[in-house]
Amino acid sequence: MAKKLVSLLLILILMLGMFVPVSLATQRDFPSMHITSERNPFVQERDFWHPGSLAVTGGEDDWNFQDVDVRLRGRGNSTWWIGVDKRPLRIRFETPQPMFGSDYPHRDWILLANAFDNSMLRTHFAFYLAELLGNTGFVPTSQFVHLYVNEVYIGVYQFTDERDIGPGRGEVVTNPDPTVSEFWLEMDERTQDYFQVNGLWYDIRFPSGNALTDEHIAYANDFIERVSLAIRSHDWAAVTALVDIPSMVSYYILLELTKDADVAFSSMFMQIRGQGENRRLYQGPVWDFDMGFGNARSDYFFGDNPEGIWAAGQHYWFRELVQIPEFRALVFERWNEAMAHDIPRAIANVEYMATHYRAAFERNFKAQPVLGVRWGLAPAPHRYELETFVEHAEWLVWFIRERAAWLDDRFRNSDDPFTPPEGFHDVRANAWHREAVQFVVDNGLMTGASEVMFLPYQTLNRAMVATILWRLAGEPEAEWSSVFADVPQNAPNWYRTAVMWAETTGLISSEDGIFRPYATVPREEIAAIFYRYTWLVLEIDTTVPEDFTLDQFEDRDVITAGMEAYLLWANYNGILQGTSETTISPTGTVNRAQYATVLMRYVREFTERELSLSVLKHGA
C-alpha cells in the first residue's frame, strides 16, 4: 500500500506543473550571433569549409566579441538535406575560443538548428537531464542564440560543443598501440565505414586520420564483439568486467524516457577507456534528440504515444541487460532517484525556458513560418496541428510527464516491466482511429506491420488497396496474367493474387499496362474502387438521389473528370466524408488509419443490407 502511495505522489508532483504567463516586461532574450561570409553557408556543399567572421552581441559582457575570423561548414544529415532554410553549422576558430562563459576554450563548436522540433527544447531537456543523471561523459553546452547570416535573421539556434576530445570534452587519449589507445565510437547505420557487430555499424571518431590503423579498427571491433557476447550471455561478472555500469544505467534511463528515435540507428556514442583490468566501455556523450519525445510519426519511428517500452525493445544490448537481475535492480534504484529529483527539475527547467524566453523563441517562427505546416522528416500529427510555440512547448512537457508516469507505474507495479504490452504500441487507447483499427484487424481485413506496430500514419498504396479488398471478398483464387508489366509472376505474394483478382473483377485497370503497386491512392480513386466493388462484386444498387450534391465543398472543382459520381456516392453513403466542413480533398492521399475508418464505415453500412460479417472473418 505504501509503495502505491509513493508512486501516486510522484505522479501527482509531475502533473502539478503548468505554464504561468510572464509579462513582456519580464521576458528574457538570447544573445545574438552574427556570421559574415562571402559564401552563404546554407547554399554551399555541406562538407566544404569556407572563411568568414563571427561576432556575439547581447550577452554577458565577457561573452561578447566582434569580427573574429572563423571557418564555416554545414553538418548533420536529415536537417541539412531537408531543412534548407535553417540548416545546422560547424564553426571553427583559428585559435581556441571560450564561448558563453565556458571554462574551456576550443576551436570547434556547433550550431544546432532544431528545425524539426517546434518546441526547440527537446535536445536541451535531454542535455539538462543527462547532467543531472551523471555518468554519461561530458554533457554538451546548451546556449540558445539568435543567428544572423550576412545581416539576415535566420532564427533561434542551440549553440553547443563539438563532440571532440580535449579539456572539458571527451577524455579519450589515443596511442599508436591499439591495446593501449582509448577509442571514441559511434553506432551509426549511415556511415558503414569501419565495422559491424550483430548487424549494427560502428564508426570510429578517435583515433582519427593517420593515427587510425587497421590494427586499431580490428581491436575496437573485437572489443565490441566481446561486450556484445557478455551482454547476451547474461553473465553479470562478464558484463561488469567490460562495461561501466553507471554510465550504461544512466544512458538507458535517458533513452527510455525520451523515446529517442535514433536508438540502435545513429548518434549513440561510446568510449573505450582505461588500461588493463580497468578498461571498460563507457556510454556517452548524449546527442541528437530532436526526433524523440513523440516527434515522429509511427510509420517512421514509434509515434507520439508516451506509453510502451522503447529502448529495451530497439537495441539488443538494453533488451538483454534488463533481463539481468543486477542491472534491472540498478535501473530501478536510479529511476526512483530520478523521479524524486532529476526529472521534476528537468521539467521545471523546460517550463522556465518556454515561459521566460517565449518571445525570443517566437521570433524564430517569424523567420521560419513552419508552425501549423506539414513538413520535415516524418512529422507526427501534433507537429502540424499545433500552431503556436507555447502549444508545442506544452505538448513536450505533457509527453514527458505522461511518459515518466507510465514508466514509473510500469517499473513499480508490473511483474515483467520490460515485456511490451499486448496490442499495437502506436495506437493509443484514446486515438480517434483505435476503434477502426481494432475492427479491421479483428475481421482480418488489415494486419499490422508487426505484432506491435500498426503504422496508422503510413500512406496507403495501390497494392495495399487491392489486397484489402481481396480480403473483403474472401480471398478468391485468381490466375496470374501478364496484364500489368510491373506485376510479374514473381511479384510479392502479399499483393500479386489480389491485383490479378481486382483487375479481372474490373475494380482496377490501367491504360498503359502499368499497375504501380507502390503509388499512393487519391481519395477520389478510393471512392471509385468502393463504388465498383459495391456494384460489380456485391451487386448492390449505387444510385444516389438527384437532389444530393457536393456543393458544400469548395474544392469540388478539382475533382478529376469522370470521378465526381464516385465521390458523390461515397459521400452520400457516409463512407468518405469531408476533410472539413468545406473540403473533401479529392486528390489528397489516405493513410492506414483513415483507410481503416473508411473500411469500417463501408462494412457496417452494407452489412445491414446483403453483407454478413461472418463472410469477412477469414483470417489475417
Cα end-to-end span (Å), the chain: 44
Domain boundaries, given as residue ranges, for the chain: 183-324, 434-616
Q: Do residues 72 and 52 touch, judged by C-beta distance below 8 A?
A: yes
Region of 444 (left: φ > 0; alpha: ψ -120 to 50; beta: rest) is left
Across residues 271-299, what is the average pLDDT? 91
pLDDT value at 279 more than 90: yes
- Would you say the C-alpha torsion 90, 96, 97, 103 has a positive or negative sign? positive
C-alpha cell at 575: 463512407
Residue with cell 547476451: 232
Question: Of 371, 378, 219, which Cα lies nearest the Cα of 298?
Answer: 378
C-alpha cell at 389: 510555440
Q: What is the pLDDT of residue 453?
A: 72
Q: Do residues 572 and 578 touch, judged by C-beta distance below 8 A?
A: no
Across residues 296-322, what is the average pLDDT? 81
pLDDT value at 89 more than 80: yes
Q: Do residues 292 and 259 touch, judged by C-beta distance below 8 A?
A: yes
| Residue 84: pLDDT band with limits 50, 70, 90 | confident
Q: What is the pLDDT of residue 22?
A: 52
Q: What is the pLDDT of residue 422?
A: 67
Q: Do residues 141 and 160 touch, judged by C-beta distance below 8 A?
A: yes
Q: Do residues 306 and 402 touch, judged by C-beta distance below 8 A?
A: yes
| Residue 240: pLDDT band with limits 50, 70, 90 | very high
How many CB atoms within 10 Å of residue 543?
Answer: 7
How many CB atoms within 10 Å of residue 555?
Answer: 17
Q: Do residues 145 and 34 touch, judged by C-beta distance below 8 A?
A: no
pLDDT value at 575 more than 50: yes
Can you list the alpha helix ranges (DSSP code H) found in 414-461? 434-442
| Residue 423: pLDDT band with limits 50, 70, 90 | confident
Give the residue, 418 or 617, on which the prediction is more confident.
Answer: 418
pLDDT value at 4 more than 50: no
Q: What is the pLDDT of residue 146?
A: 98
Query: Exposed, middle or buried, 579 (CB in 10 Å: 0-12/13-18/19+)?
Result: middle
User: What whole-number distance in Å separates Cα of residue 34 and Cα of residue 52?
Assistant: 10
| Residue 206: pLDDT band with limits 50, 70, 90 | very high
C-alpha cell at 468: 484489402
CA angle 96, 101, 107 (to 5 degrees): 15
593-603 b/e (C-beta count within 10 Å ≥ 16 → b)? bbbbbbbbbbb
- Would you say the C-alpha torsion 381, 383, 384, 388 has a positive or negative sign? positive
Q: Do residues 290 and 88 touch, judged by C-beta distance below 8 A?
A: no
Least confident span in 1-10, 351-360, 595-604? 1-10
Residue with cell 505533457: 398
What pLDDT digit, counting tens, does each position of 367-400 carry?
999 999 988 877 888 888 899 999 999 999 999 9
Q: What is the pLDDT of residue 96?
A: 95
Backbone angles phi, psi at 408, to 5 degrees: -60, -45
Q: Write the DSSP assignment of 601-620 as a string of letters.
A: HHHHHHHTTT--HHHH-S--
User: What whole-number distance in Å separates Cα of residue 244 and Cα of residue 273?
Assistant: 10
Q: Report DSSP state, residue 477.
A: -
Map residue 130 onto helix, strand or coil. Answer: helix
Backbone angles phi, psi at 306, to 5 degrees: -75, -5
Q: How far is CA 333 from CA 136, 277, 326, 337, in A?
A: 17, 27, 11, 7
Q: Do residues 139 and 189 touch, judged by C-beta distance below 8 A?
A: no
Across residues 69-86, what is the average pLDDT? 90
Least confident span in 167-176, 397-406, 598-607? 598-607
Q: What is the pLDDT of residue 315?
A: 87
Q: What is the pLDDT of residue 360?
A: 97
Across residues 214-235, what is the average pLDDT? 96
pLDDT value at 14 more than 70: no
User: What whole-number distance in Å separates Cα of residue 365 and Cα of residue 97?
Assistant: 30
Give the residue, 145 or 422, on which the prediction is more confident.
Answer: 145
Q: What is the pLDDT of residue 114?
A: 96
Q: What is the pLDDT of residue 12?
A: 47
Across residues 588-602, what is the average pLDDT? 90
Query: Exposed, middle or buried, 93 (CB in 10 Å: 0-12/13-18/19+)?
Result: middle
pLDDT value at 19 more than 60: no
C-alpha cell at 546: 438527384
Q: How far is CA 596 from CA 382, 526, 570, 587, in A?
A: 21, 12, 15, 18
Strand order in the sheet with 183-187: 195-197, 200-206, 183-187, 268-273, 280-283
Q: What does the chain come to in residues?
A: 620
Q: Write the DSSP assignment of 541-560 as a string of letters.
A: -----TT---TT-TTGGGSP
Query: Percent helix, strand and coil across the chain, each rounded to 5?
Result: 40, 15, 45
Across residues 494-504, what is the average pLDDT? 88
What pLDDT digit, counting tens, does each position of 167-176 carry?
999 989 999 9
User: What whole-number distance in Å separates Cα of residue 592 and Cα of residue 604?
Assistant: 18
Across residues 423-435, what is the average pLDDT? 77
pLDDT value at 526 more than 50: yes
Least confident span in 137-146, 341-350, 357-366, 372-381? 372-381
Looking at every residue in the chain, the average pLDDT score rounds to: 88
| Residue 352: pLDDT band with limits 50, 70, 90 | very high
Q: What is the largest CA-CA distance in the chain?
A: 87
C-alpha cell at 443: 475481421
Q: β-pairing, 195-197 with 200-206?
A: antiparallel
Least confident span in 152-161, 266-275, 297-306? 297-306
Across residues 26-39, what is the average pLDDT? 92
Q: What is the pLDDT of residue 128?
A: 97
Q: Report DSSP state, residue 52.
A: E
pLDDT value at 614 more than 70: no
| Residue 13: pLDDT band with limits 50, 70, 90 | very low
Across residues 573-602, what is the average pLDDT? 89
Across residues 436-456, what is the average pLDDT? 83
Across residues 308-336, what is the average pLDDT? 93
pLDDT value at 2 more than 60: no
